[in-house]
Amino acid sequence: MESVTPPSERFTRTHQVARRERAQTVAKWVFGAMSLAMVLPLVAIIVYLLYKAWPSLGWEFLADIPRKGMREGGIWSAFVGTLYLVGLSLAISAPIGVLAAIYLNEYARESWLNRLINMAVINLAGVPSIVHALFGLGAFVYGARFGFSILSASLTLAIMTLPVIIASTREALSAVPRAFRDACANVGATRWQTIRAVVLPNSISGILTGIILQVSRAAGETAPVMFTGAVFFKAVSRGDLFPYRLGDQCMALSMHLYTVSTQVPNVKESIPYATAVVLLGSVLLVNASAIVLRIWLRGRKKW
């Protein structure tokens, strides 16, 4: 009668298996350490800012306006100005960027014009913000005669964020399987019907995520708004949600932070840190909202 080898002895742990397991363990710890090295500085910065800003943080600081030469009071006028600039710039750049990406990904054929447009988008994404500021100053403030205004600053921010929106939208559109388009073509659907009913609904999560994430860049830029529409101080009413018009100059959180940190003497120490916390918290809140939105929209996909 043939003996049966116990299951525990059928598979032995060879030297090769042991070596691979050690390599996998080392790789896991190395990648974990890299991830921790990225997270720890962010946590340290947030904790330090909160510690320094705590004496001034509160609803009163957000809802009040700067007082006594910005040595006291809050940041309401700068906070609302940032909302105006970011909201208007995205209202301009998002439709243009999405439509341009749809054309480049779905309609454009391989040609010198298409290659030129792609090269322009890539180069525009790498232009420093100070160059965008000078362009906005010449094109919108003086060329279009919009003057130093919210409109000029928003158009400058829109030009700055446009290439990233185009690139992220193209990536989202490209992620939709080609088989979806072929199936629509086989049943007689036009290209626009395919894009509207199939491609866009299945790529909307990536498109919206790319658009929302541009809020962080637009909100944190100083040079473009400083050159085109931001002002050192603007008197507004406390709690007023509509203190500016498109032709007015406005305050912005990024420039206000620079101002109170370098240009205002004898300012309360916690005020610049509290301003930084509000700016950073706004950016983190928008980014977190983008992540939640992306997860929710991906959960609705059928594939």
pLDDT in tens, 184-198: 888 888 888 999 888
Q: Which amino acid is at 103?
A: Y
What are all long-range contacts of 118-126, with beta carbons under 8 Å and residues at least 24 apart? 121/163, 121/166, 121/167, 122/163, 124/159, 124/162, 124/163, 125/163, 125/164, 125/167
Residue ranges in 229-269 assigned as alpha helix (H)? 253-262
Confidence of residue 3 (pLDDT cuts 50, 70, 90): low
Residue 111: what are its φ and ψ, rounded to 5°? -160, 175
H or E element that contains 72? strand 72-73
Confidence of residue 7 (pLDDT cuts 50, 70, 90): low
- Which residue ranges make up each domain of the chain? 76-299
Residue ranges in 137-269 assigned as alpha helix (H)? 150-174, 178-186, 191-194, 200-220, 223-228, 253-262
**How would you classify the pairing of strands 66-67 and 72-73?**
antiparallel
Other Cβ atoms less than 10 A from the Cβ of 135: the count is 18
Q: What are the Cα distances from residue 208, in Å, to 5, 94, 108, 178, 290?
A: 59, 9, 23, 21, 8
Query: Is residue 274 within 8 Å of residue 57, measured between CB atoms?
Result: yes
- Averaged pLDDT of the chain: 86
Give yes or no for residue 10 having a pLDDT over 60. Answer: no
Matching residue, tokens 């406005």: 250
Burial class of residue 30, CB neighbours in 10 A (0-12, 13-18, 19+): exposed
Rounded distance between C-alpha atoms, residue 221 and residue 121, angstroms: 20
Identify the CATH homologous superfamily for domain 76-299.
MetI-like (1.10.3720.10)
Confidence of residue 148 (pLDDT cuts 50, 70, 90): very high
Query: Is residue 256 within 8 Å of residue 80, measured between CB atoms?
Result: no
Nearby residues of 11 by Cβ (< 8 Å), 6 or more positions away = none
Residue of 4 and 129 predicted with greater confidence: 129
Mean pLDDT of 61-67: 88
Nearby residues of 160 by Cβ (< 8 Å), 6 or more positions away = 127, 129, 132, 217, 218, 221, 224
Give yes or no for residue 256 having a pLDDT over 70. Answer: yes
Q: What is the pTM of this model?
A: 0.85
Confidence of residue 11 (pLDDT cuts 50, 70, 90): low
Give yes or no for residue 303 having a pLDDT over 70. Answer: no
Nearby residues of 37 by Cβ (< 8 Å), 6 or more positions away = none
